[in-house]
Chain A
């Protein structure tokens, strides 16, 4: 079976010359669940952005489902791989939580009834029903994380990349997020969790890699 995400000898340096990644190899299948760990500034987020094609490697190849990721448009990449930003606020556009979840569906030709049904399902799944009409920026951090995930899930991606999803969450909210991600895993959707949180990753991921000195260990 060919890999869904395939990184081959990926090197990356910032224009300042700082080398972040030094020959990273990584192969993932659609239903893999991987924890990407490492200290601050080790390049975890950079690696996530390279997989999404938001950054271009200095050398090496990043492929998505057998094709170089840059061959896909941003929208095509987004439809196939959901990306939850480190700061969830950065991906909110709509005036209400329900609109936020249904945002992309409206642009993809779903009828209003279908959008409503799908939004209701995701609101329930992520325990956000009571906030359906709330302004996304007014939610708590944990609710924002779940909303970002719900909005990404609305697209039914084949894979998700979550950047530091447990940061700033207390244990109860973290548990809610874990429950949501376990549900996603049961649906056969794989993910990469970029995090420092060992316990959170241990509960959700089958494998883990650490980024140190620009290399995966």
Chain B
């Protein structure tokens, strides 16, 4: 059964928003694009509050980005200076805001696909003429990231349960401990990858050059209209921005 919007339509919308996030450099424009993305998500019934939770996870990265931008960009009005070095300037603040908003737009764009399951994404990629082997590999890789993070967290807990107090360990030893944690995470990942590969081949993956598909969604007229609107809107925003 075909769903609206089709997964390919959503992939194009993601591509449009990502393009805008990368092409625009002005924080006000990026803020407008973010607002548009959030409105579109809300229209699709995806709560924009989820973006807030995702952004919270990256707050450490944002802090580093903001600091790096404000220290390396000294253009515009200087707000804070120390011994001739500009620590905070209007240019730095703008660049930092743009960097954070850029990531927010990309994360918001990814949320358009949050209601699509693994199989729907594979089918959509294959319909876009991506070889099915590659489509499966890409999505297995993406799906693997949270698993790897979970492995890492478990290893961190397990290492502390062996009596190692990370808060009390000096920095040098702490680095050594983190190198220990990487070992089970990487080994676990490799073992899992090997098991998945064997399981897939045991179920005849790649046994034939072509596959049959249980569902092969068709694009509706509404999908074409939505895609055209997304491309036109993206082109219009870029034209206005670069004018």
Contacts and interface: CB of A to CB of B under 8 A. Distances in A.
Contacts of B183: 92-95
A90 B155 contact: yes
Interface string A64-103: 0000000001111111001101000111111100000001
A78 B162 contact: yes
Contacts of B180: 93-94, 103
B186 to A, nearest CB: 11
Given A93-B184, A94-B183, A75 B164 contact: yes
B184 A151 contact: no
Interface string A118-138: 000000000000000000010
B187 A91 contact: no
A181 interface: no
A54 B157 CA distance: 8
B161 A74 contact: yes
A155 interface: yes
Contact of B160 (A74, A137, A152): A74
Interface residues of A, number: 27
B163 A78 contact: yes
B167 interface: yes
Interface string B133-175: 0000000000000000001001101111111111111000100
A89 B190 CA distance: 13
A107 B160 CA distance: 11
A89 B163 CA distance: 18
How extensive is the interface on chain B, given as a class? 20 to 34
B101 interface: no
A137 B191 CA distance: 9
B152 to A, nearest CB: 11
A107 B173 contact: yes
A82 to B, nearest CB: 8
B122 interface: no
Describe A's contact surface by its main secondary structure. helix
B188 A89 contact: yes
B158 A75 contact: no
A155 B162 contact: yes
Nearest to B168: A75
A211 interface: no
Contact of A79 (B151, B154, B163, B188): B163
Contact of A90 (B154, B165, B169): B154
A62 interface: no
Contacts of A108: 163
Nearest to A152: B162
B181 interface: yes
Interface centre among B154, B155, B158, B160 (most CB of A within 10 A): B158
Nearest to A54: B157
B163 A75 contact: yes
A78 to B, nearest CB: 4
Nearest to A52: B161
A108 B162 CA distance: 10
19 contacts: A73-B167, A75-B162, A75-B168, A76-B165, A78-B163, A83-B161, A89-B191, A90-B151, A90-B188, A91-B158, A91-B184, A93-B181, A93-B183, A93-B184, A95-B183, A107-B164, A137-B187, A151-B162, A155-B162
